[in-house]
Amino acid sequence: MAVPKRKHSNSRSGKRRSHDRLTAKQLQACSKCGTATPTHVACPNCGHYMGRTVVETEA
């Protein structure tokens, strides 16, 4: 079984893990009410998506 001869340095481990960070959610303003919503999701405030009302909400 293969075993490493030397310990990996902290900088080498950090370089490998440089892409493991979390990314922020992409938000955009709703065209009808202006609430910030994630992209490709119906607005939780008014139910508006792609120029039409998809989900009926209680006013």
**3 state DSSP class of 13:** helix
Per-residue pLDDT of 47-59, as tens digits, reads 889 888 888 877 6
Please indicate, yes or no, if residue 55 is contained in any of the structural domains: yes
pLDDT > 90? residue 14: yes
Query: Whole domain around residue 55: which residue ranges?
Result: 25-59
Longest CA–CA separation in the chain, Å: 67
In this structure, of 8-12, 14-18, 21-25, 54-58, the range with the lowest mean pLDDT score is 54-58
Answer for the pair 40, 53: CB distance below 8 angstroms, yes or no: no
Q: Which residue has the tokens 């922020």?
A: 24
**How many domains are there within the chain?**
1
pTM: 0.55
Answer for the pair 54, 48: CB distance below 8 angstroms, yes or no: yes
Which residue, among 17, 19, 42, has the nearest Cα to 31 in the 3D structure?
42
- Predicted pLDDT at 56: 81
